[in-house]
Amino acid sequence: MQQYDLISVLERVSELVTPSKERREKVEGLLRESLFKVESIIKDMGINAEVVPVGSVARDTWLPDDIDIDIFILLSRDFPEDKLGSVAVEVARRAFGSYTLRYSEHPYASCRVDDIDIEIVPAYKIMKGEKIVSSADRTPLHNNYLMGKLNSNLRKDIRILKAFAKSIGVYGAEVKVEGFSGYLLELLILFYGDFISLVRNAADWRPPVFIDIERIASKGEALKKFDSPLIVIDPVDPNRNVASPLSKTQFFRFVAACRALLNKPTEEMFRSRKEISFTPSRIKKELLERGTDIIVLLVEDLDLPPDTLWTQAKYISKRIRYVLEENGFRVLWCAGHTDEKSTVAVAAELESLEIPKALIREGPPVASQGERDFLIKHISDKNTLSGPYIEGDRWYVVKRRRFFNAADLISDYLSGKNAPKLVRGRKVRIVTGNEIGKVPEEIRNFIGKNLLREEVFTEMLV
């Protein structure tokens, strides 16, 4: 019965994720227009290059509400690598006016036309088996490989899979998501044959999962080389794991979501989620009910590409959590966020912003080799509150903490030599729960989602 229900759900979902005639005409028309512009500009610049469309639009695997037109400028190997980014920027400026500079191993430009993203990516033209200069060089090979494999049924199931991955929040290999790239999802459908077969298999995945569509790699060597829950050998490069950006969390969220879908099939597992807005009063109410508090770091007035901002946000959040826990604070969660423009934020929910000034430290056993050094260190120390004393067979001492307030601790850490490079020499705003109204709305929404964090598919598992 469940199989029949799932098939019925997928039939309806397929209609939802298939572009309408009008939408298709708009996208295909924009693609043709964009290619013509880029080709003309490249010619005017006197650059010998091939302009090719790649990605989901080129392969007809795109979703109606999530469209990226990827245009690659393929240059000869003798073109200076340090000028690749300037080619993308100049073409984007002349073709579309405004752009956002992004980075992979070298810069590329992202433009916006109505509700459609157009990415201008410079790369070197290579043949299969040739050594790459950057990862972007492989992308046209990926496109050629899939174009020779896909048919209408596979394209239909790829769209269904992309909608599923997007709905549960695992679609995207960028630092922000750490999930499944579009190319990876397409390879999974190609390997398993259809969406249902993929879901049934993925529901039982146990890491490490090894997939080699073309059987071009050694499983034993791959398991040694790649520390990843999912290993999918790139059909055009046996030394690359397509799933390397996938985090363990996102891997298991996908596995659990597949189990949930098989247990209780529903169209809701394929619909985009609406953003929830959190007012300052709502966040304060949640903190009051939980008996916890929030501390927020805001690093502002930055001028860095979005991917770099996300990398820094996640890195700094890991460091802040470590510092807090090392100094005795109980952290429920700590996460980083960025508006992808100029601000990086790190928020942590703590059991309390203040902890006792006193802490107990366990010393060595009585009459052991370390006894004398322990006693000398603590007998006359100004931060010794009581002890050293013996309990059982060991020495103990009660010490005064250097920091018992989370804001003071973080402020000291950020001003020190071990602070992350991004914050050195910068003024960092530190805000607590009572001042949450001073935090921008986007950051409040990020905090709210972490406070009420839950999986959209949990109820379908029971």
373: left (phi over 0), alpha (psi -120 to 50) or beta: alpha
Dig out the tokens for 177 from the structure. Answer: 């998501």
Dig out the tokens for 159 from the structure. Answer: 């769209």
CA distances from 235 to 125, 139, 187, 191, 352 (A): 18, 12, 9, 11, 51
How far is the C-alpha of 153 from the C-alpha of 159, rounded, in Å?
Answer: 10
How far is the C-alpha of 428 from the C-alpha of 426, rounded, in Å?
Answer: 6
Q: What letters, b where the CB count within 10 A reaches 16 and e where it falls short, cover 287-323?
A: beeeebbbbbbbbeebebbbbbbbbbbbbbbebbbeb
Dig out the tokens for 440 from the structure. Answer: 């921008």
How many residues are given for the chain?
462
How far is the C-alpha of 397 from the C-alpha of 386, rounded, in Å?
Answer: 6
Q: What letters, b where the CB count within 10 A reaches 16 and e where it falls short, cover 13-32?
A: bbeebebeeeeeebbeebbe
How far is the C-alpha of 288 from the C-alpha of 360, rounded, in Å?
Answer: 30
Dig out the tokens for 284 from the structure. Answer: 């304060």
**171 marked ligand binding residue:** yes
- Show Cβ contacts of residue 406 under 8 Å, excluding neighbours closer than 6 positions: 295, 324, 329, 348, 350, 353, 354
**How do strand 230-234 and strand 237-241 relate by DSSP bridges?**
antiparallel
**59 marked ligand binding residue:** yes
How far is the C-alpha of 43 from the C-alpha of 405, rounded, in Å?
Answer: 62
Q: What DSSP element (H or E) covers 448?
A: helix 441-451
Phi, psi of 332 (to 5 degrees): -75, -45
**142 marked ligand binding residue:** yes
CA distances from 204 to 189, 198, 219, 262, 303 (A): 16, 10, 19, 12, 44
**56 marked ligand binding residue:** yes
How far is the C-alpha of 218 from the C-alpha of 235, rounded, in Å?
Answer: 13
Q: What letters, b where the CB count within 10 A reaches 16 and e where it falls short, cover 361-385?
A: eebbeeeeeebeebbeebeeeeebe
| Residues contributing to the annotated binding site | 56, 59, 68, 70, 119, 142, 162, 171
| Residue numbering of the annotated binding site for CTP | 56, 59, 142, 162, 171
- Which residues are annotated as part of the binding site for ATP? 56, 59, 142, 162, 171
Binding residues for Mg(2+): 68, 70, 119
